[in-house]
Amino acid sequence: MNSTESNSAADAFRRLHGVAPVGVWSAPGRVNLIGEHTDYNDGFVLPFAIPHRTRVAASPRADGVITLATVQDGEIVVAEPLGELAPGCAPGWAAYPAGVAWVLRKQGVEGGADLVISGDVPRGAGLSSSHSLEVATALALLGLAGLSPSKSDIAKWVQQAENDFVGAPTGLLDQTASLCCTEAHVLFLDVRSGQAEQVPFDAARYGLEVLVIDTRVSHSLVESGYGERRKGCERAAELLGVPSLRHVEGEAGLPSELQPLVRHVVTENERVLRTVELLKQDRYAEIGPLLSASHASLRDDYRVSCVELDVAAQAAEGAGALGARMIGGGFGGSAIALVPADIRGRVVAHVEEAFAAHGFAPPRMFTAVPSAGARRDVCSGA
């Protein structure tokens, strides 16, 4: 737990509002080890939480107004009566917490609140910064109301905020990961059934690490081709007469433009299952080729990669990474590489050199360690 960051949020709240917050709630970003674009197709995913978190310091208001501020801004950016919240009313990042308040009001959470937000999840990096903000906001508002609904209900409400208020047609992967992941584990989630299993994941024990390569090419799921891909999957399922692509084994009989989408989903689900099998057998190094195959499928079949992500994956593998792939929605963001710890420096240098050779901005790189999920923090400032 980073008490310093929680105290920072609480201190900023006190400076802005003159009193300490009732509490600070936080939620992590995530890395999806494998299982991309399968969640909204009722498939399998395998994420883990990262140490980077979004924190929300909060106190209730009696007037039904919600105010939003960030530590960086130091001033209230949004102040709206809950009853007047509607899609399009909040600018930029504020749409995410406003959307959560909008959805929770429908669930009976009608009290106003002052919220001050801080965090270190890189924005636009494919590490689920928006969902960490939404989940932390949901926990704060529910906590102020004295409510403790199930994590599955919270995940669905956050999804509704993302889909209906923000306008991004996301699935359940990111919010579920932020809520449910645990330290030293990956979360093996069957989206169709909701069944989840915490699978131990300790790459360092085997001399390996998961290197995150943030290309610094910011992506937006609202503005990208994410929605188009999802609609293609839904159309394919409709033509095949099944509820989702989880129920199919191949793309035969579909229009040519839909076949690659289905092929990716089917093979990606298979890769998730194989990865879980290998991890349970402590055969960590053997998941590398599965990561590389996932990237090739996302690049060639699903067509959501970009040149920066391709360069990151290729450069990492060229320097000795056991496998690498893009993560998240695509069209920018981050890649991950499974790297022997003793050559980490070489891999980092090779990726940096490749980016410089292409004229790209320097990437941001760090080792991702499976960390705790969303929670109420303990801090001295609240």
Q: CA nearest 70: which of 124, 150, 16, 132?
A: 16
Contact between 217 and 328 under an 8 Å Cβ cutoff? The reply is: no
What is the separation of C-alpha 14 from the centre of its chain, rounded to a whole number of angstroms? 30
What is the separation of C-alpha 216 from the centre of its chain, rounded to a whole number of angstroms? 16
174 tagged catalytic: yes
Pick the catalytic residue from 39, 174, 214, 301: 174
> Could you tell me which residues come within 8 angstroms of residue 189 by beta carbon, excluding any fewer than 6 positions away?
39, 44, 45, 46, 47, 173, 176, 177, 180, 195, 196, 197
Residues in the chain: 382
The CA–CA distances, whole Å, from 126 to 17, 121, 205, 221 equal 33, 10, 27, 10
Tell me, what DSSP letter sits at residue 371?
Answer: B
Q: Which two tokens stand for residue 306?
A: 């970009």
E-strand stretches of the chain:
23-34, 44-61, 65-70, 76-81, 112-119, 185-190, 196-200, 208-214, 323-326, 334-340, 364-368, 375-376
What does the radius of gyration of the chain's CA atoms come to, in whole angstroms? 21
Q: Which two tokens stand for residue 214?
A: 């943030």
The greatest distance separating any two alpha carbons of the chain, rounded to the nearest whole angstrom, comes to 65
Contact between 196 and 187 under an 8 Å Cβ cutoff? The reply is: yes
Residue-wise over 246-284: b if at least 16 C-beta within 10 A, else e?
Answer: bebeebeebeeebbbbbbbbbebbebbbbbbebbeeeeb
Q: Which residues are catalytic, by number? A: 174
